[in-house]
Chains A and B, each alone.
Chain A
Amino acid sequence: QKEVEQNSGPLSVPEGAIASLNCTYSDRVSQSFFWYRQYSGKSPELIMSIYSNGDKEDGRFTAQLNKASQYVSLLIRDSQPSDSATYLCAVKTRGNNRLAFGKGNQVVVIP
Chain B
Amino acid sequence: DADVTQTPRNRITKTGKRIMLECSQTKGHDRMYWYRQDPGLGLQLIYYSFDVKDINKGEISDGYSVSRQAQAKFSLSLESAIPNQTALYFCATSDSVHTDTQYFGPGTRLTVL
* Chain A residues within CB distance 8 Å of chain B: 4, 32, 34, 41-46, 49, 88, 90, 92, 97-99, 101-104
CB–CB A92/B100 < 8 A: yes
Interface size on B, residues (CB 8 A): 21
CB-CB under 8 A from B45, the residues of chain A are 98-99
* Chain B residues within CB distance 8 Å of chain A: 33, 40-45, 48, 50, 56, 58, 90, 99-107
CB-CB under 8 A from A104, the residues of chain B are 42
A27 to chain B, nearest CB (A): 15
CB–CB A88/B43 < 8 A: yes
CB-CB under 8 A from B42, the residues of chain A are 4, 88, 101-104
Given A41-B107, A42-B106, A99-B100, 17 new contacts (CB under 8 A): A34-B100, A34-B101, A42-B107, A44-B43, A44-B90, A44-B104, A46-B101, A49-B101, A90-B43, A92-B100, A98-B58, A99-B102, A101-B42, A101-B43, A101-B44, A102-B42, A104-B42
CB-CB under 8 A from B50, the residues of chain A are 97
CB–CB B101/A43 < 8 A: no
How distant is the Cα of A104 from the Cα of B40 in the complex, in angstroms? 8
CB-CB under 8 A from B44, the residues of chain A are 101
Who on chain A is nearest to B31 by CB? A97
CB contact between B100 and one of A4, A32, A42, A44 (< 8 Å): that residue: A32
Who on chain A is nearest to B107 by CB? A43
A99 to chain B, nearest CB (A): 7
CB–CB B48/A98 < 8 A: yes
